[in-house]
Structure 1
């Protein structure tokens, strides 16, 4: 009952935060469907995933790195990106510049862009993740503020303390959207059994379509 109440509460919060944004996506999986709103204040990441959908990048894609209480990651895997770039004769490593915004943070259900260890914190072009998170304390946030040299807003603190998330990823990875319907689906996926390298033991495919209403 407590878990159901938490999910309903999170969905309500997500819906209240997503009303002003203009682009929405539908994710289809064997575990069910869920809906995502893209933030207009991270326009480059918003436009990139919309273009990727039209280019069929995410049709038949996989959630290929799953860590319970952390993230569900999908699209092109780090290993595949590294291999592809290693054999590129022109040594290209295309990335998208980070878009950090105070309104976009790693609460449960947040949609982020994966990246490697580049100093600019620029994003991979074809890798995304969803935060499934864990409990967060005031001490955690205080420590991260000192370590990262940032300041969490009252809204961020309230969200993290009430529902959890992954605040240690803030200002290191770009968040550009959030789940506003079907959060329970990604939470189910986060519990899929994996091997020691976080690969799911059974494939977890997904596809994305833009919602046009």
Structure 2
């Protein structure tokens, strides 16, 4: 009986010592928060007033940027941009460098005619409201694989200025002589014998000739264009399953 107070007191000392030790322990230092990534650059907003001078200056600053890679779920397409359409080339390169096209899709697909891309319901990057002055060159025609810029019709757009984002790639199909002659008459086309031969053997869209600016040509990946053109579409020609893209300037 005499030992009970001693044992009880010793237990209280142990408990007190434990409390003192735990209260003196410091919390581990928290790792410093990682710095927030820098915001991606955004393009200067262009207008119809500023677009021509701004794009001309960009073309001069990027004289060798003429090859771009367009990657899609169906494969890659390489496009060579033409030097003698400098405003359209600069506009496409500029938007590609800002990553604008990476949040867009092919939104209009017409088999045996063309595929059109450059917009999406999810695109939030602002580029300004502007059109590109026309650079319609007589030596370019809409044979298979040519790349052009869409635009509003002549009634709303008599100057034939191009869209700032909507581009198309011609797929086409080999045309019979009867079909080609009908297009020549309907659209009052003046085609060389070589151009007629290309339309008959390779195909294209002669109904677009001398009305839209052609600014590039597919150099690799026409099989990918054909695959995209064959994708199922809804009544508005919008692919049932979205065909996304990533666009990178190679040089």
TM range (shorter): 0.7 to 0.9
- In structure 2, the partner of 1:46 is 89
Q: Which has the higher strand share?
A: 1
The counterpart of 1:65, out of the listed 108, 122, 133, is: 108
Q: Once the two structures are superposed, what CA deviation does each residue of 1:21-51 show, in whole Å capped at 9, x if it has no partner?
A: 9611101111111111011121111111011
Q: Give the secondary structure class of the aligned counterpart of 1:201.
A: coil
Conserved 8 A contact 1:60-1:205? yes
User: Which of 137, 144, 147 is matched with 1:101 structurally?
Assistant: 137
Whole-angstrom distance in 2 between the partners of 1:210 and 1:76: 19
Moved over 4 A (4+): none
Alpha-carbon separation, structure 2, partners of 1:93 and 1:148: 31
Aligned twin of 2:11 = none
1:43 & 1:159 partners in 2: Cα distance?
A: 26
Is there any run of 5+ residues in structure 2 with no aligned partner, and where? 1-63, 123-127
Which residue is equivalent to 2:191? Answer: 152
CA distance in 2, matches of 1:155, 1:40: 23
TM-score (norm 2): 0.66
> Could you tell me which residue of structure 2 aligns to residue 30 of structure 1?
73
SS at match of 1:205: coil
Q: How many residues align?
A: 180
Question: How do 1:101-180 and structure 2 match up within 5 A?
Answer: 101-117=137-153, 118-180=157-219
Q: Write the distance in 2 (CA, Å) between the matches of 1:94 and 1:138.
A: 40
TM-superposed CA distance for 1:182, in Å, is 1.2
Is the contact made by 2:65 and 2:250 (CA closer than 8 Å) also made in structure 1? no
Stretch moving more, 139-148 or 191-200: 139-148
Equivalents in 1 of 2:203, 2:96: separation in Å? 30
TM-score by length of 1: 0.77
In the TM superposition, residue 70 of structure 1 has moved relative to its aligned partner by: 1.1
What is the rounded CA distance, in whole Å, between the counterparts of 2:150 and 2:143 in structure 1? 16
Partner of 2:31: none
Does the 8 A contact of 1:22 with 1:40 survive in 2? no
Contact 1:36 1:177 in 2 (8 A): yes
Whether contact under 8 Å (1:111, 1:175) holds in the other structure is yes
Higher Rg: 2
Change (3 A) 1:40 1:154: farther
- Indicate yes or no: 2:225 matched with 1:189: no
